[in-house]
Structure 1
Amino acid sequence: MAGTKPDVTFLAPRAASARLSRRALLAGFGVVGLGALSACGKTTKMAASPPTDGKLESKLNLYSWGDYDNPELIQAFKSQNDILVQVDAYGSNEELVAKLSTSRGTSGYDVVVPTGANIPQMLEHDLLQELDLSLIPNFEHMDPNFTQQYFDPDNTYSICKAWGTTGFVYNTTQIDRELTSWQDFLDTAQKEAAGTTALLEDPWEVSAIALAAQGFSLNTQDEGELDKARKIIVDQLAPNVKAYVGNAATSMIQGSFTLLHAYNGDARQGLTEVKDPENWKFVFPTPSANLWMDCWAIATGAPHPDSAHAFINQMISPDTAVDQLDYIGYPIGTKGLAEQAKKAELDQQDLIFPAQKVLDRLEPSKQTPADQIRTKILTDAQARSGA
């Protein structure tokens, strides 16, 4: 009978992981992630999902990052469709990959949320199944800035769930000059902010600071370019770094930092919670930075494919976009969301929505064999900092 099922079952408490600080766990994804996939060959046939027929199944199993969806929206989906929703949480892409690769299509999960950079390797090993976009009509509302990405050019397997970028935030009472570039960040960390600088605990992001400042591709595999980046990060920047953090917001609130490497949404969270937000400024630095994207996808062998498509369709609806943005702190990639956020009077909207000229210069991170070099750069920098 309708109404007799539990509302939504969460198998990980909200306190289990700080919202979006999960990005720090990407440290070493080029080693661990590829290692997990290397054990997953194509010699064993993946279990197949039942065919879609337009009839929603009575259950949906969501496997996602902790606290990454507005629970009211999940409850609304359950109530409207009389579907039992079970939510399991993981802390890294590696954990997701390991679960799907070892189960060979029998994990029981329907909807999963990989980061875009992980999708090519996941597709190589048949961990995701094709979407039926005819069952996701709200896809027509997606902003072209966040469709047809390099990791899935035709959105055959994925749809943007949330996106953001990287920059830095600084205390203008301690640093009284205007900062606009990654070179400014490097200079300031060695001068006014020496000993009060924080870096993200992410090898790709840390290397990107020096690569961008040198005018190199953020995804370069050139060992010479990476060696130049290493010298800047390890020899010049690291001695002045106080800490390596997952979420800049927490460090801003603590008050012992003046310059912080940060994801834009985390910086926004910090600005809404510090006592003196007028004294802080976030920078979308030149010449480039990461455009990261987490994606809705359906696991190979998903036992409830119709419910999975219906769930994704609801979660990318323009009708739910502001509620989702307000909860997770990052936009979900639908058209017109900036205008909706303005009407809803959300705080710090300029940090949520970079100008188009900023979006145009961003470079999405990719997994490459050179990620092992980036991981070594980070570990050497942490050792040099005494972190």
Structure 2
Amino acid sequence: MSESRPPVRILASTAAVKAISAELSRRRFLSFAAAAGATGLLAACSPGGQSSNAPQATGGELENSLSIYTWGDYDAPEVLEAFTAELGPTIQLDSFGSNEELISKLVAAKGTSGYDIVVPTGIFIPQMIENGLLTKLNRDLIPNIEYVDDAYLGRAWDPENEYSICKAWGTTGYVYDKTVITRELATWADFLDAAQNEASGRTSVLDDPGDLTGMYFWANGIDWNTTDQAELAAAEEFIVNTLAPNISAFDSYPGGAAIPQATHALMQAWNGDARIGILESPDPDRWQWVLPGPETEIWMDNWAIAAGAPNPEAAHAFIDYVLTPENSLLELDYIGYHTGGKDIEQAAEEAGIEMLDLVFFSDEQLATMREGEINEAQQTRVDIWNKAKAAAGA
């Protein structure tokens, strides 16, 4: 994990209630049909919820350990350390790079993964529930859910929050090096143009089929969830034959190294990761974050407990612990994403926190954000992604 950073506190505008819909997805299955056999595994997995032999949380004594399977560098070290110091359980963190990877591992383990807490993106939760991959929460043990804004509760993927609670939400944009690209970039069309010109050979994109193809659709005013074969074919032609030869990396976390080390000049990025990279750069003024128009993505990740979790008491205690206003703010500072807490934006402003424009968004900005879908064109998007990586030599 990165070293701790100065505290940042945050909350989105009330327009997020409308903007964040049930189909939010930043990190999606590469394809239900083509993602390391995940679909077949899900089909073979018997539905019906958690194993009857799995220990259930009742509010008893906490276990000595807790295992969390989550996205890379996605929790404030000081929160993890304080939890252990105050409540006892030691924490082991493992990271995954996609929802596909998470779900494939849980399905293959059949309730014996050894993980307690997992962090899926909302759109995948219904399938995970149906296939018995998640444990129903004992909400009596998570009273601090009262500190979560109603805007981020009761999502369509889990209307009663029986299995999940908002961990964080964010969006997709890009960062560019102003010493290399001296003109102002503001749109996805600008990104694609700069990638072929000033930043050719020094451009990175997110290692994700939806975000890769999304750039083309966003730039051209096309619904990025399109299933139209002509539109998909046009996207493939441009991305594989025109854009890919200029791409130097497929990197989902440029904030960890590429931005601080200035290894690329133009980087597609999620807002929180971009913020981390700029804050850790030795020359933060060198970088410009762009929330590009005319449209872009919005997504939400969620706390959940894996079926068969060996430490359910500690898992519930941790989720409850991290939802307190103080810890929610520390989390927001570290990861750079809105955690859904009540009144956090006001607290952030009062604290004079840096770079709030990468965490909070105006009503006008939220209105440009669109959720992703997994639909019949998903395999085509995966194919485009694979062909683009081959064309880029990745």
Is the structural similarity TM-score above 0.5?
yes
- In structure 1, what is the Cα distance between the partners aligned to 2:160 and 2:47? 27
Contact 1:27–1:202 under 8 Å retained in 2 = no
Contact 2:26 / 2:298 at 8 angstroms: preserved in 1? no
What is the match of residue 284 of structure 1? 291
Shift of 1:286: 1.5
2:347 corresponding residue in structure 1: 340
Is the contact between residue 27 and residue 201 of structure 1 (CA under 8 Å) also seen in structure 2?
A: no
> Equivalent residue for 1:120?
126
Q: Deviation per CA, 1:55-79, whole angstroms, max 9, x where unpaired?
A: 3433453322354323432343334
The 5-angstrom pairing of residues 96-111 of structure 1 reads 96-111=102-117
Aligned equivalent of 2:51: 47
Q: Which residue does the alignment assign to 1:373?
A: 380
Gaps of 5+ in 1: 1-13, 16-22
Aligned residue runs from structure 1 range 350-369, under 5 A: 350-369=357-376
Choose from 66, 77, 85 the match for 2:90: 85
Residue from 208, 231, 234 that aligns with 1:228: 234
Native 8 Å contact 1:142 1:333 kept in 2: yes
RMSD between aligned alpha carbons? 3.0
2-structure distance, mates of 1:251, 1:208: 22
Give the structure 2 partner of residue 61 of structure 1. Answer: 66
**Alpha-carbon deviation of 1:89?**
0.8
Q: What CA deviation, in whole Å up to 9, does each residue of 1:196-226 have, x standing for no partner?
A: 3222222111101011122233233333322
In structure 1, what residue type is equivalent to 2:105?
K
- 2:295 partner amino acid: S
Q: 1:27 to 1:306 in 2, by over 3 A?
A: closer
2:37 aligned to 35, 41, 62, which one? Answer: 35
Q: Following the alignment from structure 1 to structure 2, what is the Cα–Cα distance between the partners of residues 33 and 123?
A: 19
8 Å contact 1:24–1:246 — kept in the other structure?
no
* Alpha-carbon distance change, 287 to 124 in structure 1, aligned in 2, over 3 angstroms: farther
Q: Deviations over 1:90-145 (max 9, x none)?
A: 32334432332233334443322222233232122111122233432222322344
Contact 1:168 1:262 in 2 (8 A): yes
Describe the superposition over 1:29-58 as per-residue Cα deviations: whole angstroms up to 9, x where unpaired. 545547224224354875124454333433
Contact 1:248 1:267 in 2 (8 A): yes
Q: Which of 259, 264, 280 pairs up with 1:257? A: 264
For the 8 Å contact 1:62–1:88, the answer to whether it is kept is yes
Partner of 2:9: none
**CA contact 2:135–2:305 (8 Å) conserved in 1:** yes
Mapped partners of 1:334, 1:381: distance in 2 = 39
Specify which of 165, 170, 177 is matched with residue 164 of structure 1: 170
Corresponding residue number in structure 2 for 1:385: 392
Distance 1:202 1:98, change over 3 A: closer
How far apart, CA to CA, are the structure 1 residues paired with 2:51 and 2:146?
A: 31
Higher mean C-alpha displacement, 338-347 vs 350-359: 338-347
Q: Could you say what secondary structure the match of 1:286 adopts?
A: coil
* Pair 1:147–1:44, CA change in 2 (3 A): closer
Q: CA deviation at 1:166?
A: 0.9
* Aligned-partner Cα distance in 2 for 1:27–1:356: 29
Deviations 1:172-195 (A, max 9, x none): 344343322212222332334333
The amino acid that maps onto 1:242 is S
Cα separation, 1, equivalents of 2:35 and 2:153: 24
- For 2:168, what is the secondary structure of its paired residue? strand
The amino acid across from 1:361 in the alignment is T
The match for 1:148 is 154
For 2:27 and 2:46, the matched residues in 1 are separated by 30
Higher alpha-carbon deviation: 366-375 or 197-206: 366-375
2: CA distance, partners of 1:316 / 1:293: 16
In structure 2, how many angstroms separate the alpha carbons of the residues matched to 1:365 and 1:339?
A: 30
CA contact (8 A) 2:60 2:313 kept: yes
Query: What is the DSSP-based 3-state SS (H/G/I as helix, E as strand, rest coil) of the residue aligned with 1:54?
Result: coil
How many Å separate the matches in 1 of 2:346 and 2:105? 39
| Identical amino acids, percent of aligned pairs | 40
CA distance in 1, matches of 2:188, 2:175: 12
Partners of 2:74 and 2:296 in 1: CA distance: 23
